[in-house]
Amino acid sequence: MLPHPIQIFVRFSFIICCTVFVLSPSFGDSNEPEEPSRITASQLLQKAQSADDCHSFWTDYFVQENVNPDAIKEAVRLLSTEIKTKKENADQIIALIETAMLSGNAQPWMYEALALTLYLKGAPKAQVLRAALSAADFSEHPADTLNIAFVMHRVFGLKEHVFPLYRQAAENMPPRLDLYAAMLRLAEELFDENDDEESLRWIALTILSVEWDGVLGSKLSQEAINLLTMLGNRLTKQNRDEDRYHSYVSRQSVA
């Protein structure tokens, strides 16, 4: 089953918190009295928060040759733990990540962290969208792309932009009944709202390219056939020649 939106949102939030902490070199080492990266991060944050302009501080920091990536991860983790009570922490995270990107010090996790921080701050959807799409570009596994798409869809409310990401993930993963069913529902919504034929056609044909087992698989295949039939009839009424709809659906119906 696809994860619940709240579960995905929590997982996505952990990109800033838990994942950053786990990646720290001294994670789990109870013999050390205090983590060196934590000390460096705390010192950085003290200076950043006392600076007149956080963008200028982080710009000057990233000019240095001895930038510590682990300290940066830890600094973002520390800021994110109190982001709900200290709204200025969001500004610090955004300034840190944006200057890191501009200076050539970007890391893949930063794009996801930026998207989430912008969303929590209430930034315009266009800004959140750009960051989320960048996060998808830097995702290293189809499952990561799928998770980003799901968060964009269910949490960020960017439904009209996510189908290509779902498709990208689906094309690089084994067939999943729950994923294809969710994509079919989304494609139907996009068709009704934006007259998006291509998304509906692609997912319907993709569903019918798989031999599903069980009642749910048969039901999903029949839904795909019905939607392709509807699209074919629509094209006929509009005098658009798309014989492959009718021929494909006819073969599937006979089978």
Domain presence at residue 35: yes
Model pLDDT, residue 245: 53
Locate 254 and state its tokens.
């006979």
Decide if 169 is inside a domain: no
Is residue 87 domain-shared with residue 185, that is, in the same domain? Answer: no
* Residue 163 belongs to a domain: no
Looking at residue 243, its pLDDT comes to 53
* 41 and 80 within one domain: yes
Boundary of a domain, candidates 117, 133, 158:
158
Regions of the chain short of the pLDDT cut 50: 5-39, 247, 250-255
User: Are 37 and 149 members of one domain?
Assistant: yes
* Domain of residue 193, residue span: 174-255
Number of compact structural domains in the chain:
2
| Inside any domain, residue 48 | yes
**Could you say which of 158, 186, 219 is where a domain stops?**
158
- Within a domain: 164: no
Is pTM beyond 0.85? Reply is: no
The whole-number pLDDT of residue 25 equals: 36
- pLDDT, position 123: 93
At residue 29, φ and ψ (nearest 5 deg) are -95, 95
Q: What is the per-residue pLDDT across 5-64, written as a single tens digit (0 to 9) for each?
A: 444 444 444 444 444 333 333 333 434 434 433 447 888 898 898 999 999 999 998 988
- Are 130 and 239 in a shared domain? no
Task: Please report the pLDDT score of residue 249 as a whole number.
Answer: 53
Same structural domain for residues 179 and 152?
no
Instruction: Name 179's Cβ contacts closer than 8 Å, sequence gap at least 6.
Output: 2, 146, 166, 169, 170, 173
Q: Which residues of 31-68 are buried (b: 16+ CB within 10 A; e: fewer)?
A: eeeebebbebbbebbeebeeeeebbebbbebbeeeeeb
